[in-house]
Structure 1
């Protein structure tokens, strides 16, 4: 995989943590805090666990907590993918 996109991330969020009540992943959510989208750090850890297993993306737990928005998390994921390539 060359680049992990926002669509990929929102699909994984829905797959791993379900559709958050009150959160809307459709549209421009790149800079919307995950907490406003209805996802907490536990949900993000579930997603990153799946990404590690499926894509070999190994993110530190504390880095995931620091990624407060989809944009920040995508940057981390794509950085790992580019290093692995």
Structure 2
């Protein structure tokens, strides 16, 4: 089964929303909210759209918004991602 990882998410974040120089996205960011990482609602929409388009899934607002964490986002994606998709 394919698994979406935190590293995969970081790649999407960098591509869609850029990187805030106050945070090292390669560090321990799993439990920090996206808002606290410097990503607002618009940035998160860009990330969500990129993930949806690439993986062919439809993500809910809950767990993928600016008040969520990268760990929760990864969990939501893995719950929805078909086994045949390889990130």
| TM-score between both structures, scaled by the size of structure 2 | 0.81
Answer 1 or 2: which has greater helix percent: 1
C-alpha distance in 1, partners of 2:77/2:67? 10
* Residue deviations 1:12-42 (CA, integer Å, cap 9, x gap): 1011001124222121111011112111222
Give the count of matched residue pairs. 82
Q: Does 1:26 align with 2:23?
A: no
C-alpha distance in 2, partners of 1:72/1:14? 18
Cα RMSD after superposing both structures: 1.8
Segments of 5+ residues of structure 1 without an aligned counterpart are none
Instruction: Report if aligned partners of 1:67, 1:73 keep a CA contact under 8 Å in 2.
Output: no
Segments of 5+ residues of structure 2 without an aligned counterpart are none
Q: Identify the residue that residue 50 of structure 2 maps to in structure 1.
A: 50
* Residue deviations 1:44-81 (CA, integer Å, cap 9, x gap): 11111111111112112x22227610011111011111
Instruction: Report if aligned partners of 1:24, 1:37 keep a CA contact under 8 Å in 2.
Output: no
Instruction: Report if aligned partners of 1:48, 1:57 keep a CA contact under 8 Å in 2.
Output: no
Greater RCO (CA < 8 Å, at least 6 residues apart): 2
